[in-house]
A and B are shown apart, each in its own frame.
Chain A
Amino acid sequence: MAEYSPTELMICIAARLMKEARTAFIGTGIPMLAAALAKKLYNPDLIAIFEFGGIGASLEDLPRAVGEARTFYRAMVATGICDVMETAQRGLIEYGFLGGAQIDPYGNLNTTVIGPHDKPKVRLPGSGGANDVGSLCWRTIAIMKHEKKRFVEKVDFITTPGYLDGPGARERAGLPAGTGPYRVVTDLALLGYDEETKRMMLLATHPGVTVEKVLENTGFELIIPRRVAQNEPPSADELRVLRTEVDPERLYI
C-alpha cells in the first residue's frame, strides 16, 4: 500500500463525498483540493462556487485564496458576493464546506474567539462566509483536525450554526428548513449526525484507527452505532492525481 499523509487521506474522503454533488460552496484549504480531486476523478460536472463570485471554475490551478483569479479561471461566471450568497439563500447550493477551531456535538462551529468575546484568549479571524454557508447551503461538511480540545461539549462562541441545541432548533431560529450539518471529515474518522437527536455519530474510522482512539480524542459523548465502517485508504489513482495534477506545487500537501 502506498504511503500517504493524514491530510491526503482527509482530502480523498472529502472528495468521495462529492461524487454525487452538483454544486459545492468551496472555502480555503482542503475543500479546494477535495473539489479539484473530485472534479478530475469522480465528478467532472461538479460546480465549485467561491464566495467572492467565482462559479464553475476549471480548478486547473489550485486557488490559494477564495477571491483570487484561480477561483474563476476558465469559469462559467465571474459575479460578486451578493449574487453568490443570494444563490445560496434561494436554495441553489447543495453542499457547503466549513472548518473551525472548535465543533460541538450538534455541529456548531467556532472561528471567532477562544475565551470571552471582549477579552479573548485567542482572537480567531471571525465568521467570514462560514455563517452564511452554514445557514444557507442544504448540507454542510466540516473538515477538522480530530482533537479533544477541538471536539468540545460547548464551543466558546457559535460562529456558524449547526443544529444549535438539537432537533427543530434551526427551524425555530428561522434558518431555512431542511438544512444543516451532514458530515464531519477528520484525520481519524468520518462522522455524521443521528437523525433523531441531531448529535454527532461515528460513521467510519480511517485505516488503522480504532473506535477507542476516536473516543479518546473527542471531548463529548459521541454516538457509536452498532456497526462502524472502515474507510478505504487513498487509492493509487487518488494519490497520483492529487500529487501530480491537483497540487503539483505542493501548496497544501
Chain B
Amino acid sequence: MINNMEIIESGQKELLQPPDVEEFRRWMRENKSPALRDKVMDEHEAVKRFIKDGDYIGVELYGTVRCPMSIIREIVRQGKKHLRLAGQGLLEIDFLVAAGLVDAMDITYVGYEVLGLSNILRRAAESGRVKLVEWSNAAMAWRFKAAAMGVPFIPVRSMLGTDTLKYSSAKVVKDPFTGIHVTLLPALILDVGIIHVHRADKYGNAQIDGISGFAFEMARASKRLIISTEELISTEEIQRYPERTIIPWFLVDAVVVAPFGSHPGEMCYCYERDQEHLLEFLKAAETEETTQQYLQKYVYGPKNHQEYLDLIGRDRLEALKRANKGR
C-alpha cells in the first residue's frame, strides 16, 4: 500500500499556463450562457472582442487541414501581442511567430512534414526569441482533455524517460494504486480556442466532417471560443442531427462565416489544399525579408477574408473544389 504519491521527476520548464480549475468553474458559470444569442460576426469583430494581448491561445486542427486561417490572418492584422501558444501546427503558428506576436509556446510540432522544417520557427528558436516548452502530440491533446474534464491533471504513459519530459513542465509520480510510474500532465485551459468547422448555426452549434482531431477536447478547454465555419446552417438542421453537434452552442462566443476559411489548407470533402500556394509560402519563409513580403501581400494587404479570397482568385478556389474527390 502506497500512502503518498512520490514525485519521481519534474520537468524543468516553466508551466506557461497554470491551470486553475476553481477559477475555470467560476468563469464557466459567469461567462457561458445557455441563452440562444445570435453570435454571427466577422473576423474583425471576433478577434477584437475575444482576443487580448498576452492571451494563451490554441488553434485546431493544423495548418494544411481544417484550420481557421482567416482568423489567424486577422490576429496578425490586429497585431495582438505577447501571445502564448499551444504549438502544434504549420503556417498558422508561423504567421503569428513571423509577425513577432508570440512570446512563448508549449511546442509539440511545428514543421511541414515531408516539405521540411519551419524556417520561421528555426529563426525564432535559434535566436532565443520565443520561449519553448516541449510536449508530445498526445500530451497536448490530453492536456486539453484534462481541462475539458475539469480536473487539474491527467496521468498518461507517454514522455517517460526522455528529454521531452525533462524540458516540459510535466511530472512523473508513482501511482498510488498500482505503483507504476506515470506522467502527470497539467490541464491546459486556453484563454482562447479557435476552431474551423464544416457547418454551424448562428448560436454556435457546430458539426465537423471526417476526423475530429482534438476539436472536442479543445472546445471544452477554452474560456473563450471562436468558431469559424464554411457554411452557416439553420438551427432546424442542427436539431435534425443532434448527435452530430461536436461543439454545443453554450461554449461558443463567436461564429464567423468563412468559406475557404482553411485556405491554403484543405477542408475534407470540400476542397483540396493549395499546394502551389503552400510552396510559395515555404519559399518566402526561407528568409526574414521574403517572409515579411509574403505577410505584406497576403495578410496585411487584404483588409478582410473576402479581399483575401479575391486575391487568391475565384478560378483557383473553384479548381481546388473540383479537385476534391469527395467521399
Contact = CB atoms under 8 A, between A and B. Distances in A.
Interface residues of B, number: 61
A126 B157 contact: no
A80 B214 CA distance: 6
Contacts of B324: 69
B107 interface: yes
Interface residues of A, number: 58
**Is chain B's binding surface mostly helix, strand, loop or mixed?**
mixed
A81 B138 contact: yes
A104 to B, nearest CB: 12
A160 B167 CA distance: 13
A96 interface: no
**Is chain A's binding surface mostly helix, strand, loop or mixed?**
loop
B213 A131 contact: no
Contact of A128 (B108, B142, B273): B108
A94 B214 CA distance: 23
A85 B268 contact: no
Interface string A76-92: 00111110010001000
Contacts of A216: none
Contact of A135 (B62, B65, B159, B212): B159
A209 interface: no
Contacts of B145: 82
Nearest to A163: B161
Contact of B163 (A52, A65, A112, A119): A112
Contacts of B167: 112, 117, 157
B36 interface: no
Contact of B273 (A29, A68, A125, A173): A68
Interface of B: 61-62, 64-66, 87-88, 107-111, 113-114, 117-118, 121-122, 124-126, 128, 132, 134-139, 141-142, 145, 156-164, 167, 172, 180-183, 210-217, 266, 268-269, 273, 324-325
Given A117-B134, A125-B111, A132-B136, 14 more contacts: A52-B211, A53-B213, A64-B113, A71-B211, A73-B325, A78-B211, A80-B217, A122-B122, A122-B126, A128-B88, A161-B161, A173-B160, A174-B172, A252-B114
